Structure 1
């Protein structure tokens, strides 16, 4: 395999996810490359889901792409055919370079050990099957939202567990203990995306907030952004944040169970967790979440502070719990005082 394929993949990563590119760089080798190529593969699956293509077209593209992960070795003709289908049948923006470099992504995938490929393929298939299921199934309840979030992000928690075990960073016994928290860690991160992206998703006709929650306040996706519904929209927003809190607590439990000397692995988990917490703080009681064209996100200074603290505090469970408790308190007074 030409090493330029791996280099090309590393170059694409920050163009499809700056936050993940930031986190993945802190992982030890070869786990960093394994998670990098996993993310790019799952991002292609996500691009199929997010497109405006007909549902049956998405079904065929999910199947065609996942089948490329199941061969003994990469087939150039099948790869080129799939790339053409993806580029012509999907709508996309910054994912174009990723799709155009499908060959490099799959070359990097097929350079991984067999057990790594098996895990990437297993959870990728679970993701694609679940995403297809929700193409026709509306999200009515928080339980539906949880299941959807599992398919989008919870499966990545399970993949990470597999790779930690394969790389001998955790034992089989610890892997079992981490299993429950891995899923809920993924939900914590996905739910902040669902919360923060409501205005953009509404314009794109994506519906991830529970319909029963909106109905409770006499709202719909078409009326959330209306100024006369501001108070009701903020009440629904608060319920979303309350629901997410339990998963943030599970996420920190996951990290606390990781070996204290696995500081790079801990930092990989800490950075997105604390970015998520600060995002919840930013969104709480903030009507800009519902305003088209507004982007509610944390500052670069906050990101830099989180990265620095993850390095300084990451090896101590006591200091991590203190940081977590202080950060969560910034969310909870808003909810208590509504």
Structure 2
């Protein structure tokens, strides 16, 4: 199903108005995409955010959460009533859900109406991603994970379900958009999940204390146990030296994922500068966040490691100037990542982990 130019402009205007309320980063990056991709990627983000909102609200009982996720999938795959879902979901949400997120859930019929304007290939890619998220996230209910995830492998699977699948979705949409991009499909898909996982792990590191205050912990116990740090006692004032050592290892893993994200971006042809910028801005902001964590290891809130507006502007300017030169982009990456530890990424192991998570 296609969409008229007027319908597309109306849909784009709606998504551009809503995105800043739920994600300042994606509100910045998504408009860089070509118009048809901007509409699909923006819509996909809003649908994933609705699924994530249901997952994150502790007021939603586990059985009801599973029912709502299944109903969301049926709205997308079987054309079930979006208004019925929106009414049921918004009633179930509690005080932990922000007003912006609640408004988005209540506005689900409009989001779904835009989804149904997209091409068949775009709809399949989006619904597949949302289904993977909804079916995978319940394994990591926050009420059972206040003391952290078991190990790095479980962290990898968690990041795959909430972000790696998005990397795969974007790759599918990019390949559908351009034959030149599709020519690199195997190489792109080998890196896609790692790209998303790098961004998600950066957020986990940045938000660790906000998550801890809400009863969440996505840190892997094996890394912190090796440093002599007990995640059951996770607190800003508890044994910061050992905690810093564990965080430094996670920064190294995130850095390795972001290196893969750069390789991914360089596989996008120079003839698609908007897609390159979309990827580069996300990578640059993540790298600078990790640099802030390294510079301020005793941070106690995301604000302590927040990237300044000036730094954001520099990322935008530098990547605009360098986006056509792979050599310049590699140099920029090295500069932005200077001083960060790095753990090498085994793509074959990640592919195995992702396939197991998806099965």
TM-score (norm 2): 0.86
2:64 matched residue in structure 1:
57
**2:87 aligned with 1:81, yes or no?**
no
Among 297, 314, 323, which residue is 2:332 paired with? 323
Deviation of 1:120 (Å): 0.3
Deviations 1:171-202 (A, max 9, x none): 44311111111111111100000100000111
Deviation of 1:58 (Å): 1.0
1:336 matched residue in structure 2:
none
Contact 1:255/1:270 (8 A) holds in 2: yes
2:46 matched residue in structure 1:
40
After superposing the two structures, state which structure 1 stretch, 175-184 or 206-215, moved more: 206-215
1:173 matched residue in structure 2:
183
Structure 1 pair 293/327, CA: closer, same or farther in 2 (3 Å)?
closer
Deviation of 1:259 (Å): 0.5
Deviation of 1:8 (Å): 2.4
Deviation of 1:7 (Å): 2.8
Contact 1:134/1:148 (8 A) holds in 2: yes
Q: For residue 329 of structure 1, give the secondary structure of its aligned residue in structure 2.
A: coil
Contact 2:207/2:301 (8 A) holds in 1: no
Deviation of 1:232 (Å): 1.1
Q: Tell me the distance in 2 between the aligned counterparts of 1:132 and 1:332.
A: 32
Stretches of structure 1 that go unaligned for 5 or more consecutive residues are 334-338
Runs of 4+ in 1 over 4 A off after TM superposition: 292-295
Deviations 1:106-140 (A, max 9, x none): 00000101111011001110111111122267621
Structure 1 pair 172/6, CA: closer, same or farther in 2 (3 Å)?
closer
Structure 1 pair 162/198, CA: closer, same or farther in 2 (3 Å)?
same
**2:286 aligned with 1:280, yes or no?**
no
**For residues 1-338 of structure 1, what are the structure 2 equivalents within 5 Å?**
3=7, 4-52=10-58, 53-71=60-78, 73=79, 75=80, 78-91=81-94, 92-93=97-98, 94-135=100-141, 139-168=149-178, 170-221=180-231, 223-227=233-237, 229-284=239-294, 286-289=296-299, 291=300, 294-332=303-341
Contact 1:169/1:262 (8 A) holds in 2: no
Q: Tell me the distance in 1 between the aligned counterparts of 2:156 and 2:166.
A: 14
What is the count of residue pairs matched by the alignment? 328
Deviations 1:25-52 (A, max 9, x none): 1111211111000000000111111110
Q: Tell me the distance in 2 between the aligned counterparts of 1:54 and 1:285.
A: 40
After superposing the two structures, state which structure 1 stretch, 155-164 or 15-24, moved more: 155-164
Structure 1 pair 301/50, CA: closer, same or farther in 2 (3 Å)?
same
Stretches of structure 2 that go unaligned for 5 or more consecutive residues are 343-359
Deviation of 1:331 (Å): 2.0
Q: Tell me the distance in 2 between the aligned counterparts of 1:258 and 1:319.
A: 15
